[in-house]
Chains A and B, each alone.
Chain A
Amino acid sequence: MIRFDNVTKLYPSQVRPAVDEVTLEIDKGEFVFLVGASGSGKSTLLRLMLREERPTGGSVHVLGKDLNRLSAWKVPALRRQMGTVFQDFRLLPNKSVFENVAFALEVIGKPRHTIAQVVPEVLELVGLAGKEGRRPDELSGGEQQRVAIARAFANRPLLLIADEPTGNLDPATSVGIMRLLDRINRTGTTVVMATHDAAIVDQMRKRVIELEGGHLVRDQSRGVYGYSR
């Protein structure tokens, strides 16, 4: 599903690579936590998977595609098979919950009747049934993140990438979001999630990949957030 071979990413302005010779493999259906201190390269690693950044060394394979060789016009097709969720939700403030999710389907050319069927289903799945008409500013942070997850999942992606999805939420709300991600994972969707949230990682007991200064320093199945606590 995802394979990194000796991947290095050096941003043009930097002297130290943000990701340094990382090799890893993530299989279909896995749930993987990406942990590490701030600036350790977690977001960079996720952006490499999304092909928002290109590696300066090594190769990245995602969903069977060598991203170094993938031509630019094929990138959208790849991204349609991936869902993304961020700490800051990234909802459109002047669209309703329904419209926010529908927008993601409209812009990839889904027919109207499919949208009318899929959007209520996925809103139901994330627990937002009855709130379709609300605007993002009429929702709590946790609900906004649910909308973002619904949008990411609406096209039934094979891979869900989440960069600190609970970063802006309180612990109780975070637990709800994690339950939802776990449910999505159980449908067969691979989930890769960067986080600073030790409690969540310890509780879920999933695979943990730890970065330190761009290096992969730990890859542990059923791991915890850190040794030194």
Chain B
Amino acid sequence: MTGHRYQCAFVSQVGYARPMVTPITPVSDEPASFTALLAAEERVEPRDEMPEGYRRTLVRQIAQHAHSEIIGMQPEGEWISRAPSLRRKAILLAKVQDEAGHGLYLYSAAETLGASREELLDALHTGRQKYSSIFNYPTRTWADVGAIGWLVDGAAIVNQVPLCRCSYGPYARAMVRICKEESFHQRQGFEILHTLAHGTPAQHRMAQDAVDRWWWPSLMMFGPPDDASEHSQQSMRWGIKRFSNDELRQRFVDMTVPQAEALGLTLPDPDLRWNPERGSYDFGEIDFSELYAVIRGDGPLNRQRIAHRVGAHERGAWVREAASAYEAKRADVRGEVPA
């Protein structure tokens, strides 16, 4: 990413709640057409000229996002066969299927930047590319499925809504589709927790226990604090990122606290309180050392998630081979040269 520096007099002004509209002046080999598109807040499309750093950053981010959707199927997928009713089971199946769809929209978007599907899957399977560390926590009870929908999908929505305006067209369009589908995910999770929280005392305890375990990891989904975030500023300049990690995290806390009250559940943070001066909730310090450990792959389930994913891919190989063989045979009958 070096070699693409800008004279950015405005960087210091990039404060909270300030979308990027300031003109950008390149000082390096950034194509003028690209600079002009960003300045006009227009979308960059696949065949447009773009700096190599922009392309690489997008491939990395979109791939990591796609991997997260795919690995994210596992913690909840474990509960499909154990859902407490047919209604819940059908809903959970649809939700997990949506996540597969999200992964596929995003892999397609990454491919418009020249990445190949096989390379991307290989990077996931060999650990060269990461997925969101949130999916390295176990789903111990049915209430965890509720907590994931409410908190994890809830946090994902806050992260993803600004990406619908990302400067790269195919990524932004994939995000629009994804965001439309996410609100059902969050609501079904909320409904599960609401039912448990208003059930027997044991069910209420189960709901509270799940929220206690998922709250802090959900806050960490927004990434490291702004002063420790390596990629943020460049991504902001490129219109890939619109708001800082800390701002999105605050937005999530402010949205979620009243929802917890409606559930009749508490959030496990003694420092959480309304701050009338800021018009926001103050919250306690986040233990990021845990996040960094999980990102490095020390998460309790990292190895298991990847092994499961690789296993599924390998067990599905015969289906892919059979489909290819069938089409090759038919192409032969049609007298075509196979593609």
A binds B: no
A residues with CB within 8 A of B: none
B residues with CB within 8 A of A: none
